[in-house]
Amino acid sequence: MKKILSKIPKGIYLLISIFLYIFVLPVIVAVAYKELIYAGFYSLILLSISSIIGEKKRWAQLAILFAVISIWLMYFIDEPSIRYFAFSFSILIFSTAVITMIGKIIRKTDIDINLIIETINGYLLIGVIISFINSTILWHNHQAIANANGTVLNNIGDIVYYSFVCMTTIGFGDIIPQSQFAKSISIFSAITGQFYVAIIMAFIIGKFLNSKYKN
């Protein structure tokens, strides 16, 4: 059993947790105890990140554990400061994971399944970070991001959808940033998403051509 588990790429757990966050979490809108389910999804991503930045680093493992605890406290204690701290600390950990994965991608000399998974994880995790930032903005100002008809966003699915639409620069126009800060974040997410694709793809293509030249 251990041999089988050891062959599974470490990044696959993070990839699965992010896919659940993107495609399953938005469906959970009218489910009982949905807030606790949200906390479970957030915790799953954080714990999955431990395989990326927590390996042989005790401080990283403790930081992730602290973030998970703060996420759960956020739903049991109705205190805005705890909510802002929980999401801000989670964003910091997610950003550290993205930087760590970019470093691994740059340092790798060959292209394998681990490199591909880490590349996908890095891109999707940027979208998760942006969704957390947008959630924090909406907590502070419910009118900061709204539907095109003026109604406010009322579920996590809309926030996730809007965040990834901004990052991929699709821009359907059905959800629009209203406050200046929300507009700035939408610009930041678009630039970050495109920079990631351009820079990482350049490195991967370079590695592929280099390996092909050596062979």
Count, residues in the chain:
215
- Residue 208 near residue 119 (C-beta atoms within 8 A): no
Q: Of 57 and 162, which is predicted with more confidence?
A: 162
The predicted model scores a pTM of 0.90
Q: Are 80 and 139 in contact (CB under 8 A)?
A: yes
Render pLDDT for 26-44 as a digit per residue (tens, 0 to 9). Answer: 887 666 677 788 889 999 9
87 vs 69: CA distance, rounded Å: 12
Q: What is the pLDDT of residues 158-206, one digit of tens each?
A: 999 999 999 999 888 899 999 999 999 999 999 999 999 998 888 888 8
Given this model, what pLDDT does residue 182 score? 95
152 forms bridges with which residues in the sheet? 146
- Count of H-run helices and E-run strands, the chain: 8, 2
